Structure formats: structure tokens, C-alpha cells
Amino acid sequence: MDSLRFKALASIQDRQEDKEKPSKIIISEIFGTQVFGDKTMRKYLPKDTYKNITQIIHTGEKISRKVADEVAAGLKSWASEMGATHYTHWFQPMTGTTAEKHDSFFEMKDGEPIESFSAGALVQQEPDASSFPNGGIRSTFEARGYTAWDPSSPAFLMRTRAGLTLCIPTIFVSYTGEALDYKAPLLKALHFMEQASVEVCRYFDPKVNKAAATLGIEQEYFLVDSALFNVRTDLMLTGRSLFGHAPAKGQQLEDHYFGSIPERVHAFMVDFENEAYQLGIPLRTRHNEVAPSQYECAPQFEEVNIAVDHNQLLMDVMGKVAKRHNLECILHEKPFAGVNGSGKHCNWSIGTDTGVNLLSPGDNPKSNLQFLTFFVNTIKAVNDHADLLRASIASASNDHRLGANEAPPAIISIFIGETLANVLNELDSPVKSGKSAETNSKIKVNIPKVPEILLDNTDRNRTSPFAFTGNKFEFRAVGSSSNTSAAMIVLNTIVGNQLKAFKNEVDALISKGQSTDEAILNTLRTYIKDAKRILFEGNNYSDEWVKEAEKRGLSNVKTTPEALDAYISTQSIKLFEESGILTERELEARHDILLEHYTKQIQIESRVIGEIALSQIVPCSVEYLNELLLNYGQLTDNGFIIEAEQGKEYIQRISNHINLIRTNVFEMIEERRNANKIDNSKDKALAYCHKVKPYFEIIRYHADKLELYIDDKLWPLPKYRELLFIK
């Protein structure tokens, strides 16, 4: 009988591809057609309501009942005309994915069927939420959780084959008002950072009234044929391959990166991009990535809250559309050993309502001082809270990537490029007198050099976890499957906090008689001294950097259970409480949820490893062993002594691997049992990390050896060479 793998391979051969030509699409015409955006609101809302709601979106004021009523009515008309029958509050619980609970517009009123959607249904819902992670915040007797409308993120229509559903972006909080999701603290962190930015901006331009953090998310992913995916329990249940020998050809020829996109993949890309455009997601870029079967897409940047929602939505759309093409879109950080993993580069900056990108060097001393202010404050914030940033990207899946040889390490450092490093050095050193007639003003001596930065923005360091790239910072260590809110909550909180401290220090110097520019420069100077240790221009993947970082006192926390500690350090609790973003109780709940999530992921992987090893790999290996034994018997019966000796050695080798797989699986199960007895979530996560997980590599080693020895016909799991090269 054919192995599952052979059947799957045969089904790909037999598949009838849909060769229908795509119809002509003009992106600007389909863009945003499924979004209750500006154009649609103008059409479906009374003039005053439209004005009101756009202002509220801009300022974040409270919404009156009347406005909510009219928006609800407008939304319903639009959604029904488009063909939607149901609506849902769309939220982002701590599971990392998005959640929906659909209700229909339809209801019976006085015995008559009608379609309705009230302000009440728009503004607030109470999903039966006791099964979402809550870290002890909600005991079952007080299981109520509320979702509440976020008007700053537009409602949209989600399409499946069955029809359209109106989705309303919401936050998710407990009965007592504590955040149970990513969006609630994100909105607070953004507001906090933006307010602090405006205050600082006013040193340079009193006309600035609003600043907004911006984010462009580059999304990496893998594609695998679904027939093969479906017979790999590990990919299906854990998102990564827990077994599989490296193929003879991997990424060593470097022929995939920016290579021509296979036709089948191209068709998938066009299809998901078109869906994304209709949802208002401004995708711009698509290309092959470094590993075979790895790709990337990136949108134009947007305000952070919208960019995060769009990325969550995009991941969902990519998954759904891939299935239509008999593909699986894999977002795991490390689906395949031995080839590159996937990240989600977060390009971050701050823009003002006067049209200035605060991280873009200007062409005159004044704007350069403003640039340097935001630039240096960000560096200082990252330096002071590196551990918290590390915690924000920690997950079982990202652990495989951080510190592996092809991704930024678990050590947080910043790359700024040679030109800016020189600028900071100069700022930091005492001004030499007599340099020019203008030396009495320090700014004039040092700052005019800054425009040269523009010439230097090709200076790239792909190995850095946090890099300045000319007019924005790029946080590269973020994992491909993560909700970027986690990283954005931390980044915006620490920068906001830093800007506030900066403002206080500068004001104090001004009140002592220093000029504003002097006060700013003097404050920045002290920051540069402090923060220099985190700047690193070299190769982050090298062993030398690990040693050097240790000397500099930078942390190198390799695994999640330890990394998460930073969320509940005294320093973090103080930071989040003072900034009003998360309370100690909320932080502790989050810490607990993330630990539990980690434990569960390792637990599932461990179970899948045991199951595949014992029920698939060992049986096919034993079958082959029996064949060999028969063969061996025939050789010796017929007097072939030398060949028999070689055969014996071969049989021995295979049988050793089989035995070692068995013993290690049983030992791993025993360790799992021990870990399961632990109550404390941190200790349990540590046990899973350091007692259970080490078996994964050992078991895999023996299984991967067997993959090379066992008859190809018998091997049940699609091999890397089949998974990674889509035809």
C-alpha cells in the first residue's frame, strides 16, 4: 500500500488547475470598497454626523448617543446594500489571533421579521468570554467581558465564500475595566506617546497640534501545497515541521531571494492582494524571500492602530485565500529547520499634523535638532528598557528565530549607521574652540553635518534587531506570527515616557537660564553618554558580539519564560502604572497568560512529536528493518559472508536509531508528566522549556537519520525537498 505521502504527492499530479484568466483589475477602483471609510461615510451619514464622527476619529473625544445611532443606521444601510446579513465585533484577545461572534441583523419584532442594528449593538457587546485567556482577572462567576467600538479603525466587510459579514473593530475589557486584549493598551500607549511628542515638538514649532506614530509592517511567510501539509500532523497542529532532514539543496545557492515568482504563487498573491485592497489595506511590495518557498509582502505605512488591525486582517485573508489555491500560508517564525525563519519587520516613526516625519533628518539646523531630539530619545528609551522590548517579542515560536544564525539575536542593540554614529560622537565630545566664527553656538558647530545622513541611507545592517533606516526605525526581531501590538505597546510607552522625562529636564535647564537649544543639546548629550552601550554597527550574528554584549552589560535572554519576567519587573510596573497604560494587576495577568500560552505550545509540540515518532516513523522503520533482516538471512544462508557483515552493521544502525527514538519519547513523556504537576505558571513554563523541550532535538536527530536510510516508498512524511519547492 502507498504511504500517505505518496498518495498526497499523487493527488497534486492529478489536480486540475483552474486556468481561468483573472479579469482586469484597477487597484485604485477597488481600493477600500469593503470599508466604511471616508467616502462611504459621506454617502451614508447625515452631513453633521459625518463631520462629527470624522472629528471624533481625529481627536478621540467621546461619542454622543445620537451620533452613535446615526452611524449605526448608516452602517446597516451600507452593509445590507452590499449583501451582508450579519455583523460582528472584531477583537484581538490575548490568544494573538482575532475573534468574532456573528449576530444577524435579522430579528422578529411584533411578530414581523425585520433587519435592525442599533447604536447599542454598535457601541458595546458582551461576548460570552470566559474561555478567552484572562490570567485570573475574570473568575468564572464574574465572566463578563465587554467589547467596545473603536471608531478610529473603520468597520469593514469580511468576505468568505458564503457571504459578507460586517466587522466592527473593538477593544475587549473585563467587567471591572481591565484590558483583556491587545488593542485597549495599544490605544492608551499611542495616546500617551503622541501627547508627549506634541509637547516636545512645540520647542521647535508651536503650530504642531497632533503627532501620530506610524507603522509599516513587512510580513514574511511560507507557502506549502495543502495536500502535503495535510499529511504532516506537525505542520497542521503546530505550524512548524518537527521532523525533516535538510534537503540536498536548500538556500545555499541563494537563488530564491528576489527570484522570479512561480506562477502558482503569483496567482495566490494577486488574489489575496485584491482582497486586501478591497479591505483598504495599502499593499505595495511583494517578493521572494531568502529561503525556498518563503515570500514577503509590505504595505504603505499607516497610523499604528490601523496598521496593526490591517496586519491582523491581512494574515487572516492570506490564510483563507491560500486554501483556494490549494496552498497553506505558514506564518510560523521557524517552520523549517536549516533555512531562514520569518519575521515581521516593524518600521516605526512619528509624523506631525504639520507634515513632518520626526525621524527624518532635515536640511537645516533647526529641523536637525528636532530630528536628533526624537532620534536620541528613542535610543535612550530602548537602552533603558531593552529587556521589556525583548519581552514584547517573546514567544515559543520566536525563540527558534532569535539567536539562531539567520535572525537578529536575543540581544537588543541598535544600528544607526556610520554617519549618525559620527554625529553622536561629535555631539558627545567637547566643542573645540576656534573652529569657526560661529563656535560660540555649539549647535552651529555640530548640527549642520546632519544633512549628510541622507546620502548615507543605503548603509544597511540586516543583522540588527533594531535599525535606523534613514527616516524610521525598523524593529526586526518581531515574529512573523505575532500581533504587533505587543511590540508597539512597549515601544510607544517607553518612547512616550522618555519624551516626558526629556521635557522635564529641558524645562528645568531653561528655568536655570539656558536657551532652549542649549538646554536640548545638553540634555541629549547626557543621554548619548548613557545609551552608547546599546549602539552596535557590526555583525549581530557573530560570536564576538555575544561576548562584547556581555561585557557591555546587555542582556541575552534566549528563552521566553525568562524573557517575560521583564513585564513584571519593578521598573516596568512603575513605567506602565505612571503612564496609565497598564496596572500591576493587568501586567501580572498578561505575564501569566503569556507563560501559559508558552507552556501549551511546547506541550502540544511534545505530544505531536511523540505521536508522529511512535505511530509513523517507528512503524515504517521497523517494516524496513524486517525487509533487511529477511535479506540478511538469505545472504548468510547462501554463504555471502562479507556482504552479510555489512548488512548486519546497517541493520544495527537503523535499529539503534529506532530504539533511541523510543526511549527518548518515553523519557520526554515522563518529564511532561512531572511538569504537569507544577501549579506555578512560571515554574511550569521553565520545566517545559528546560526539561521537556530538550528532547525535541534528540528525537528529531534520530528520526531525520532514519529518513535517509529508510526506503523512500515507505516514508510517511512529505520530505523537505517536496514541501519547499512548489511547482
Binding of residue 216 to ligand ADP (CB under 6 A): yes
Q: Which stretch binds ligand ADP (CB under 6 A): 150-158, 182-190, 469-477, 637-645?
A: 469-477
- Tell me whether residue 165 or residue 360 sits nearer to ligand ADP (CB atom): 360
d(CA 291, CA 265): 15
Report the half-sphere exposure of 161 (CA within 13 A, side-chain side): 4
Q: Which stretch binds ligand ADP (CB under 6 A): 99-107, 221-229, 293-301, 328-336?
A: 293-301
Of 52, 251, 347, 559, which one interacts with ligand ADP (CB under 6 A)? Answer: 347
d(CA 575, CA 582): 9
Binding of residue 311 to ligand ADP (CB under 6 A): no
d(CA 538, CA 22): 47
d(CA 509, CA 116): 60
User: Which helix (H) or strand (E) covers residue 330, if one does?
Assistant: strand 327-330
> CB 265 → ligand ADP: shortest distance, Å?
20
- Tell me whether residue 71 or residue 212 sits nearer to ligand ADP (CB atom): 212
Binding of residue 172 to ligand ADP (CB under 6 A): no
Binding of residue 334 to ligand ADP (CB under 6 A): no
Nearest CA-CA partner of 410 in 418, 401, 419:
401
> CB 600 → ligand ADP: shortest distance, Å?
32
Binding of residue 299 to ligand ADP (CB under 6 A): yes
CB 658 within 8 A of CB 625: yes
- Tell me whether residue 158 or residue 281 sits nearer to ligand ADP (CB atom): 281
Binding of residue 598 to ligand ADP (CB under 6 A): no
> CB 580 → ligand ADP: shortest distance, Å?
25
> CB 279 → ligand ADP: shortest distance, Å?
17
Of 342, 469, 497, 599, which one interacts with ligand ADP (CB under 6 A)? Answer: 469
> CB 532 → ligand ADP: shortest distance, Å?
24
> CB 416 → ligand ADP: shortest distance, Å?
14
Report the half-sphere exposure of 241 (CA within 13 A, side-chain side): 27
- Tell me whether residue 226 or residue 461 sits nearer to ligand ADP (CB atom): 461
Bridge partner residues of 103 (DSSP): 87
Binding of residue 300 to ligand ADP (CB under 6 A): yes
Q: To 10 degrees, the CA torsion angle through 492, 494, 500, 501?
A: -160
Q: What are phi and psi of 160, to 5 degrees?
A: -125, 175
**Please, what is the angle between helix 516-531 and helix 418-428, to 10°?**
110
Q: What are phi and psi of 161, to 5 degrees?
A: -60, -30
- Give the CB-nearest residue to ligand ADP: 216
Burial class, 349, CB count within 10 angstroms (exposed 0-12 / middle 13-18 / buried 19+): buried
Bridge partner residues of 349 (DSSP): 214
> CB 301 → ligand ADP: shortest distance, Å?
3
CB 56 within 8 A of CB 67: yes
Binding of residue 472 to ligand ADP (CB under 6 A): yes
Binding of residue 349 to ligand ADP (CB under 6 A): yes
d(CA 75, CA 88): 12
Of 87, 268, 348, 715, which one interacts with ligand ADP (CB under 6 A)? Answer: 348
Q: Which stretch binds ligand ADP (CB under 6 A): 90-98, 194-202, 299-307, 482-490?
A: 299-307
Q: What are phi and psi of 468, to 5 degrees?
A: -85, 130
> CB 212 → ligand ADP: shortest distance, Å?
10
- Tell me whether residue 32 or residue 470 sits nearer to ligand ADP (CB atom): 470
CB 352 within 8 A of CB 359: no
Name the DSSP letter for residue 64: P
> CB 298 → ligand ADP: shortest distance, Å?
4
> CB 347 → ligand ADP: shortest distance, Å?
3
Binding of residue 471 to ligand ADP (CB under 6 A): yes
Nearest CA-CA partner of 67 in 184, 149, 171:
149
The owner of cell 490564510 is: 319
Three-state SS annotation for 636-705:
HHCCCHHHHHHHHHHHHHHHHHHHHHHHHHHHHHHHHHHHHCCCCHHHHHHHHHHHHCHHHHHHHHHHHH
Burial class, 564, CB count within 10 angstroms (exposed 0-12 / middle 13-18 / buried 19+): buried
Q: Which stretch binds ligand ADP (CB under 6 A): 116-124, 142-150, 292-300, 378-386?
A: 292-300
> CB 605 → ligand ADP: shortest distance, Å?
32
Length of the chain counted residue by residue: 727
> CB 471 → ligand ADP: shortest distance, Å?
6
Of 134, 147, 214, 395, which one interacts with ligand ADP (CB under 6 A)? Answer: 214
- Count of residues that interact with ligand ADP, criterion CB under 6 A: 15
Binding of residue 215 to ligand ADP (CB under 6 A): yes
> CB 597 → ligand ADP: shortest distance, Å?
28
Nearest CA-CA partner of 210 in 225, 223, 199, 219:
199
- Tell me whether residue 241 or residue 377 sits nearer to ligand ADP (CB atom): 377
Binding of residue 298 to ligand ADP (CB under 6 A): yes
Binding of residue 526 to ligand ADP (CB under 6 A): no
| Residues binding ligand ADP (CB under 6 A) | 214-216, 218, 298-301, 347-349, 357, 469, 471-472
